[in-house]
Structure 1
């Protein structure tokens, strides 16, 4: 059974399952996160996103992290999975998001994020446990912080 975070599914609402890969990207006591701000729904997020048809979760992780942060990563290791039921306004879609969380090493910044409305930010890991925009991301950031103690 996959742990659920966030709101319960709304009765009668049809949800499309959408798998995604997301990264905890540590360096010393910081995490590389992405600030998403389209002017409507600003949010601090773990870098990552949807897995395209035919794409592996690891390939999606590398692609999404690069698009949202401009960084190349190495040695991804899966640390857990959660699901959440959300409306995704950018896709006009009710989704059951299956979020696979990896820990990976940010190894090289290649430039700014390529994806519109995204800004890469280094944030103290403890602060990220409070500031990330969804409870699943916060849970895994807290697990990361606890592993450092």
Structure 2
């Protein structure tokens, strides 16, 4: 069973499964995050996104990282997965997001982000915990930090 984060799904709503792949990307002690400007303000996320029909997870992840950050990456391993039910206005659908999280290293910067309204943010793992919008992403980042003894002196949930 994949753990769910966020609000419980409304059984009266038609939910469409939307698989995605995201990454905790490091360069030295810093993480690379993506910031998307929305009507509600900046939305800080792990780089990644939806896996298109017929696309495998790792090629989708590398494509999304490049589109959102302008960087290449090396993916090392799968860290976990979570589900999140939400309205996706850009696709006009209620999505059951099944988010797979990977660990990787930031590669070369090959250009600016090609996704509209996306910028990059470099920060420490502790800062990322404070800024990430996704509870599931924060949960997996916390586990990753704990496994490395990098809790920054905080009490990890």
TM-score under structure 1 length normalisation:
0.95
Q: How many pairs are equivalent?
A: 149
Q: C-alpha displacement at 1:41, in angstroms?
A: 5.1
- 1:144 equivalent in structure 2: 144
Q: Which runs of 4+ in 1 moved over 2 A?
A: 38-42
Q: Which runs of 5+ in 1 are unaligned?
A: none
- 1:10 equivalent in structure 2: 10
- 1:104 equivalent in structure 2: 104
Q: C-alpha displacement at 1:146, in angstroms?
A: 1.5
- 1:92 equivalent in structure 2: 92
Q: C-alpha displacement at 1:127, in angstroms?
A: 1.1
Checking the alignment, whether the CA contact within 8 Å between 1:126 and 1:142 is kept in structure 2 is no
Measure the CA separation in 2 of the matches of 1:126 and 1:73: 22
Measure the CA separation in 2 of the matches of 1:138 and 1:73: 21
Checking the alignment, whether the CA contact within 8 Å between 2:75 and 2:102 is kept in structure 1 is no
Q: C-alpha displacement at 1:125, in angstroms?
A: 0.8
1:47 aligns with 2:47: yes
The two structures, once aligned, show a CA RMSD in angstroms of: 1.2
- 2:68 equivalent in structure 1: 68
Q: Which runs of 5+ in 2 are unaligned?
A: 150-157
Measure the CA separation in 1 of the matches of 2:76 and 2:115: 21
Measure the CA separation in 2 of the matches of 1:116 and 1:22: 18
TM-score under structure 2 length normalisation:
0.90
